[in-house]
A and B are shown apart, each in its own frame.
Chain A
Amino acid sequence: MNLISFCRRLCAALLLVALFSACSEEAKPLLQVGEKATPFSLEMLGGGARRLEDYAGKGLVITFMSSWCPCSNNSMPLLEQASVAHKSDQIAFLLVGIQDSRKKFDKFTKKWNVPFDAGYDKGDRIAKDYGVSAPPTTFFIDRNGIVKRAFYGDISVKPEEFRQWVKEVL
Chain B
Amino acid sequence: MGQGGSVIGAGEAVWGGFSAFFSIWQLCILQFSPFFLAFIVGTFFCTPGQRHAPPVIRATLPASLAWTLSFTLLYSLLIASALPLSRPLISNLGSLRIIAGVLILLVSLYIFLMGRRASLAKWHRPSTLIVLAMVIGISFALMYSPCITPMLSDIMGLATQRGTAREGWYLAFLYGLGTSIAMCAFAWALIAVLSRSAAVWRKARWISDACVLVLVVLGLMNISGLMTFYKAFLLGLAL
Contact = CB atoms under 8 A, between A and B. Distances in A.
Indicate, yes or no, whether A interacts with B.
Answer: yes
Interface of A: 3, 7, 10-11, 14-15, 17-18, 21-30, 32-33, 66, 68-71, 73, 99-100, 131, 133-134, 136-137, 149-154, 157-158, 161
A33 B1 contact: yes
B153 A153 contact: yes
B162 interface: yes
Grouping DSSP codes into helix (H, G, I), strand (E, B) and loop, the B interface class, with mixed when no group exceeds half, is helix
A66 B93 contact: no
Contacts of A22: 94-95, 98-99
Nearest to A13: B102
A53 B92 CA distance: 29
A28 B98 contact: no
Interface in B89-120: 90-95, 98-99, 101-102, 105-106, 109, 113, 117
A150 B2 contact: yes
B90 A157 contact: no
Nearest to A162: B4
Given A26-B93, A27-B93, A70-B239, 14 more contacts: A7-B113, A10-B109, A14-B102, A14-B106, A17-B102, A25-B94, A66-B232, A68-B239, A73-B239, A131-B160, A134-B145, A150-B161, A153-B152, A158-B4
A26 B148 contact: no
A68 B94 contact: no
B16 interface: no
Contacts, number: 119
Nearest to A149: B2
Contact of B148 (A18, A29, A99, A153): A153
B86 interface: yes
Contact of A11 (B82, B106, B152): B106
B190 interface: no
A3 B2 contact: no
Interface residues of B, number: 45
Contacts of A18: 95, 98-99, 101-102, 223
Contacts of B228: 99
Contacts of A14: 102, 105-106
Contacts of A30: 81-82, 160
Nearest to B86: A29
A14 to B, nearest CB: 4
Given A7-B109, A32-B162, A151-B3, A27 B150 contact: no
A70 B238 contact: yes
21 contacts: A7-B109, A14-B105, A18-B99, A18-B223, A21-B95, A22-B94, A29-B82, A29-B86, A29-B91, A30-B81, A32-B162, A33-B1, A68-B235, A68-B236, A73-B239, A99-B232, A150-B160, A150-B161, A152-B2, A154-B148, A158-B4
